[in-house]
Structure 1
Amino acid sequence: MQPRPVVLATFNARFAHASGALRCLQANWTGPRPLVLVEGTLEDDPVRFAERLLAENPALVAFSVYLWNVRLTEHTVRVLRRVRPDLPVIAGGPEMATDQTGPELAHLVDLAVVGEADLAFGQLCEDVLSSASGVRRPAAVLPPPDLSQVRLPVDAFTDLDLAHRVCTVETSRGCPMRCAFCTAAGTGVRRFPTDRVLAQLEALWDRGLRRFKFLDRSIHHGDFEPVLDFFLERTEPVFVHFELTPHRLSTALAFHLAEFPPGSLQLEIGVQTLDHEVSGTIGRPFSNVIEETLDFCVNQTDAHVHADLIAGLPGETLESFAAGFDQLHSLGVHEIQLGILKRLRGTGLCGLMPAGQFNPEPPYDVLFTDTMSFEDMQRLKRMGRYWDLVANSGSFRETLSLLLKDSPFHSFLTFSDHLFSTARRTHGIELNRLSEYLCDYLCEVAGCSRPDVLAALEADYLRCGRTSRPAFMQKPGSRTPPPPSKPPGSPRPPRQRRHN
């Protein structure tokens, strides 16, 4: 008779995301029991998810927990405790990092795991299963494993994953920088053997994967050229996402990035702040070549460039943040991700800023700082959401040019304030309705001529291949033009295509 399985579970942000953490554990599983993966999304009902878990008749359930799913995981564990109080439960992941209080979830499970459990997970499960029922164990704080011994999850991705989901790969773990807000600060960089990384990429390619998202903190660290060569040697279309820090690019790295054909490369550049003093406060080395690096990526490569800024860093004011935003926008990056500072467990930020300045509930985002009011932080949060809908989406490239004046930041912040006062929400705004909000603002508040605004909106609709028009854009007797043809077999996501 086959023993009852260990069930690995998590809630992903959406179905399109395949949990890399679960698949790493699966790839390195050596326990005597079968291992079953059960994934849900943040929209799942915890009672129904618990039912799915129990349907596997598990001997033990282990959850992967992170910032966005911790409360949903807690709810699910509480349900399991009532329905099956004898069922052992383990939880690990970034949210289980130790600090003065620890997450509430740590007190609900039989074992909290802190650190990378690739090699230790099987033994941890057996230890819990062999211990007395209901006896909580001290948190297992694991040292970083030797990556030469860790198997990469080539076979853990199913054909369904490869065809329909974002599959993540990694060549290294850790980061050499010591940014106060980051969970990887000062951990150093450890690398998987290059030959095994290339073998993983080859295997995934042979199985049909054409969209690769790398988890490495930056391709600056280590010899990344063989990985870039792997993709440059392929003739079929591919889409690859890399992260890098805005430091000087080596000649070899710059040459390789410039070789990628249009539509095949996305670079996510962690700028975070353009204020020298703020950068020093958070322990982040300030790069004097930020503009040079961004200019190269935007103008000397065919990459889609996505730059990150964090609002709410200690010492940052609304005006200094505005200056950084405008400076970044002037460099022509395709997307500016306006993020909000979060107080993550185990980071240096916990000793740098008072806990009382942050939301006590996940995602632990900053509410106010010594230099930025609660009201302005709320405005920036809304602006970040609306900027993503209007600018980062690529849906309103022509219309945006009418909106942004001398200071793109202040122009858009003013629009954001107006939009929120009108719509009273930041989510669930349908595209045609958003178009109407833009039209009304530009015509009635910004003083643009209605024909110019309608012409810009029409150009955006045509460029994006939209086949319907809201009533305010339709002319009597007009017919909707056919959508433009799409490049055959392109793995590039629609969002990136809209920026062309």
Structure 2
Amino acid sequence: MKLLLTTLNSKYIHTCLSIRYLYSSVKDTCDSYIKEYTINESLDKIYADIYEKNYDIVGFSCYIWNVEQTLKLCSTLKEANPDLIIILGGPEVSFDSLNFINKHSYIDYIIKGEGELVLPKLIDSISKFKKHIEIDGVVYKSNELPPYSDYRYNTHEDIYFIENKDTPPIADLSQIKSPYLYVTEEEIENKIVYFETSRGCTFNCSYCLSSTLKGVRFFPLESVKQDLKKLVVLNAKQIKFVDRTFNSHKEITLALIKFLKEIDNGKINFHFEITAHMLDDEFMKEIKEARYGLFQFEIGVQSTNSKTIKTVNRIDNFEKLSVRVNQIKKYGNIHQHLDLIAGLPYENLESFKKSFNDVFALLPEALQLGFLKMLKGSPIKSQVELFDYRYRNYPPYEVISNKFISAIEILFLKEIEEIVDLFYNSGMFMLSIEYIYINNYNNNGFKLFSDLLAYKNEYYQNKTLSRDDLYKLLHEFYSRICSDETNKIKELIRFDYLRMGRNRVIPLFLRNDLSSITREEAVAWISNDYIKSELGYPNSHPMEIIKKIHVELFEFDIIDYIKTKGNLKNHKAIIAFNYSGEKDFMNKVTFTGGLYEQIKN
């Protein structure tokens, strides 16, 4: 039997964890292969690539982002080769599987839930041409009802669709082979690699599929360490932990944090979902000493409305969370990504604005606006009638409205999400947006982005915005609301612009005659041993260094402002942007600088 395990990732840079687990589970028992595609590729080309390899069995991992395209692909493959056996697995087919296989009769088998121990048994049964598949967790087609009990079924046109009883969660995760037993550097290098140290969650949030399984199970720590070290050696760009709460077990979390610091190769980044209010002092001490950019935290706030939090069975303490987020921010070495969800119970538009303002006041590196999804199998689906939910009946099942928030208000928040992504989460305006918020919109970040949205809709409604357009838009916007500080915001926007990378020409609206500097002055300044060292070229000649950097004079002391977040002082500053060096973990070029008077000394 020739088996292909595959999926359609959302982006090329992503990798799929589930099919690697499955590949490791069957690699020694059949002629198996693994291949990843993306939802952005031509389905015709994917179909041709699979069909031409003459597989006997193809297994697809299905998620909300790929299930519709996967089904089209499966239908085409089955038409081309009726003898091809198609297996589906993943969260998008693990619920209501019986109706799903009935509706899509070109699917031969569905594996519900965890498949690492089920797939080898299924492949063995298929290879032995067994008529009835008495394997827990399997849904399949048959011309007759099976002789065993403990199954459900329905029928259509003389075909029986059989759903065997569910498999319990795998209690001992040491039974599962590592997903990275056979991985190569070609698969991993410069990719986002997904990883888990545990399964399950300590919480029971009603909008999450993890709430359907109680308790947390952990993989053996030494096996976890071995795999992580291997992935770092293979030059993964980022290792993204999919543990629902990475810090749910204090001792394991500390052991892993210390280990990740030990195997740091100077460029790897580890991303975790954490619960900030559970962080203790010992954990904080460990991360404080970590390399800049080594760790990245995703913190799910979701809402600061206490009634909302209680209704969705979430346990949180925003006051404690805020203390820890602010503490981490002061460390200056960790990217924090905070999440909100629109469409939750008891969260009307005004309540959501408050939640937004509460979270934005912490000034995380990113604030993600998500929208409630009525996922198959999630407990919140039982509350559809109670809260009058309207939602899309196709992936990703996003909420359209409920009794607390209208469809037009949800659409408004969709526009706010876009503006927040463009002007905040993109990192393109790190200094300028923060300055505008602190000085003009203190404690009302939602109004800042609402006003930006209104300005964009009035003056740039039908225009496809380039990067330069976005900088121009922000400059015009601030010039209108605070005309007496036009020079300050122009200088901050120019700094943000230059940190994004080398540009052939600085736009006219960002130029300033007062900030010109001669090449001779720049070379003289670069000749300073300290500046050469700061730029990363301690032994290079200034005339060589000048080719790799860009030196700019600013009317205000931006370096002091970055360090102190105090007043923007009217002192000229000289700043060098290093365009040939490595960018930081937020994809910004490094820089160094000081007061202009220094070059005269």
- TM-score under structure 2 length normalisation: 0.75
The range that moved more, 428-437 or 276-285, is 428-437
| Matched residue, 1:384 | 417
Change (3 A) 1:307 1:433: same
Q: Which moved more, 1:82-91 or 1:27-36?
A: 27-36
- Structure 1 pair 330–64 and aligned structure 2 pair: CA distance change class (3 A): same
CA–CA separation in structure 2 for the residues paired with 1:109 and 1:149: 28
Moved more, 413-422 or 89-98: 413-422
Q: Who is 2:363 aligned against? A: 332
Structure 1 gaps of 5+ residues are: none
Q: For the aligned residues, what is the CA RMSD?
A: 3.0
CA 177–472 in structure 1, closer or farther in 2 if over 3 Å, else same: same
SS for the counterpart of 1:138 is strand
Equivalent residue number for residue 534 of structure 2: none
Say which is worse superposed, 435-444 or 183-192, in terms of deviation.
435-444
The answer to whether the 8 Å contact 1:168/1:212 transfers is: yes
Native 8 Å contact 2:582 2:590 kept in 1: no
Deviations 1:11-61 (A, max 9, x none): 101110011111111122256321112211111222221111112211011
Which residue in 2 is equivalent to 1:167?
193
Equivalent in the alignment of 1:412: 449
Q: Deviations over 1:101-150 (max 9, x none)?
A: 85577554111221111122122233345256974753464332231111
What does residue range 251-400 of structure 1 map to in structure 2 within 5 Å?
251-287=281-317, 289-300=320-331, 302-354=333-385, 357-400=390-433
Q: 1:296/1:402 Cα in 2 relative to 1: closer, same or farther (>3 Å)?
A: closer
AA partner of residue 143 (structure 1): P
CA apart distance, 1:62: 0.7
Counterpart for residue 185 of structure 1: 211
Which amino acid in structure 1 is aligned with residue 115 of structure 2? A
Q: Aligned partner of 2:13: which letter?
A: A
Relative to structure 1, is the Cα distance of residues 410 and 109 closer, same or farther in structure 2, using a 3 angstrom cutoff? Answer: same
CA shift for structure 1 position 260: 1.1
Measure, in 2, the Cα distance between the counterparts of 1:495 and 1:353: 44
1:121 paired with 2:152, answer no
Mapped pair 1:242 → 2:335: no
CA separation of 1:251 and 1:360: change in aligned 2, threshold 3 A? same
Distance 1:37 1:199 in 2: 22
What CA distance in whole angstroms lies between the structure 1 residues aligned with 2:586 and 2:111? 35
Structure 2 distance, partners of 1:496, 1:343, is: 40
Label 1:329 to 1:164 Cα distance change in 2 as closer, same or farther (>3 A): same
Give me the whole-angstrom Cα distance separating, in 2, the residues matched to 1:330 and 1:476: 32
Instruction: State the match for 2:577 in structure 1.
Output: 484
The answer on 1:76 being equivalent to 2:56 is no
The CA deviation at 1:448 is: 7.0
> Which amino acid is the alignment partner of residue 259 of structure 1?
E
Indicate how the Cα distance of structure 1 residues 193 and 73 shifts in structure 2: closer, same or farther if over 3 A, else same. Answer: same
Is 1:199 the equivalent of 2:226? yes
Rounded to whole Å, the distance in 2 between the matches of 1:252 and 1:473 is 49
Pairing partner for 2:90 from 89, 93, 104: 93
- Cα displacement (A) at 1:300: 4.4
User: Once superposed, which parts of structure 1, at least 4 consecutive aligned residues long, lie more than 6 Å away?
Assistant: 476-480, 495-498
- What secondary structure does 1:62 align onto? strand
CA distance in structure 1 between the partners assigned to 2:505 and 2:231 by the alignment: 41
SS of structure 1 residue aligned to 2:244: coil
Q: Deviations over 1:176-197 (max 9, x none)?
A: 2110110111522100011111
Contact 1:210 1:491 (8 Å CA) reproduced: no
Equivalent pair of 2:342/2:352 in contact (CA under 8 Å): yes
Q: What secondary structure sits across from 2:328 in the alignment?
A: helix
SS at match of 2:189: helix
Query: Secondary structure of the residue that 1:247 maps to in structure 2?
Result: helix
Per-residue Cα deviation, 1:284-322 (whole angstroms, up to 9, x for no partner): 123252222322322246211111111111110111111
Q: 1:235 to 1:282 in 2, by over 3 A?
A: closer
Residue identity opposite 2:209 in structure 1: T
**Would the alpha carbon gap of residues 210 and 229 (structure 1) be closer, same or farther in structure 2, given more than 3 Å must change?**
farther
Structure 1 residue aligned with 2:260, among 231, 235, 238? 231
Q: 2:38 aligns with which of 18, 41, 51?
A: 41
Q: 1:68 to 1:415 in 2, by over 3 A?
A: same
In the superposition, relative to structure 1, how do residues 235 and 87 fare at CA in structure 2: closer, same or farther (>3 Å)? closer
Question: Structure 1 residues 269, 476: closer, same or farther in 2, change over 3 A?
Answer: closer
How many residues matched?
494
Cα 1:124–1:473, aligned 2, differ >3 Å: closer, same or farther?
Answer: farther
- The answer for the alignment partner of 2:597 in structure 1 is none
Determine the C-alpha separation between the residues in 2 that align with 1:363 and 1:60: 28
C-alpha change, 1:252 and 1:64, in structure 2 (3 Å) is same
Asked if 2 retains the 8 angstrom alpha-carbon contact of 1:342 and 1:363, the reply is yes
281-290 vs 362-371, greater mean Cα deviation: 281-290
Partner amino acid for 2:53? E
User: Could you tell me how far apart the structure 1 residues matched to 2:492 and 2:98 are?
Assistant: 53
- Identify if the C-alpha distance between structure 1 residues 233 and 91 changes in structure 2 by more than 3 Å, giving closer, same or farther: same
Instruction: Describe the shift of the 1:309–1:31 C-alpha distance in structure 2 as closer, same or farther (beyond 3 A).
Output: same
Output the CA distance in 1 between the equivalents of 2:454 and 2:116.
Answer: 47
Shift in Å, 1:423? 4.6
Larger Rg: 2
Instruction: Report whether the alignment pairs 1:467 with 2:503.
Output: yes
Q: CA 1:106 to 1:346, structure 2 compared with 1: closer, same or farther past 3 Å?
A: farther
Helix, strand or coil at the partner of 1:289: helix
Residues in 1 aligned to 2:287 and 2:117: alpha-carbon distance in whole angstroms = 34
Question: What code does the residue aligned with 2:254 have?
Answer: E
Query: Aligned in 2, Cα 1:305/1:245: closer, same or farther, shift over 3 Å?
Result: same
Conservation of the 8 A alpha-carbon contact between 1:96 and 1:106: no
Cα 1:118/1:168, change in 2 over 3 Å = same
Q: Which is worse superposed, 287-296 or 378-387?
A: 287-296
Instruction: Tell me which residue corresponds to 1:142.
Output: 167
- Secondary structure of the corresponding residue to residue 253 of structure 1: helix
Aligned to 1:367, what secondary structure does the other structure show?
strand
SS of 1:185 mapped into structure 2? helix
CA–CA distance in 2 between the matches of 1:148 and 1:394?
41
Could you tell me the percent identity over the aligned residues?
25
Q: Is the 8 A contact 1:211 1:492 kept in 2?
A: no
Separation in structure 1 between the aligned mates of residue 431 and residue 237 of structure 2, nearest angstrom: 31
Q: Which structure's relative contact order is higher, taking Cα pairs within 8 Å and 6+ residues apart?
A: 1
**Alignment partner of 2:248: what SS?**
coil
What do the CA deviations read for 1:417-454 (whole angstroms, capped 9, x no partner)?
A: 4424555589x743222223323333356757654443
Cα distance in 2 for partners of 1:114, 1:124 equals 12
Counterpart of 1:213 in structure 2 is: 240
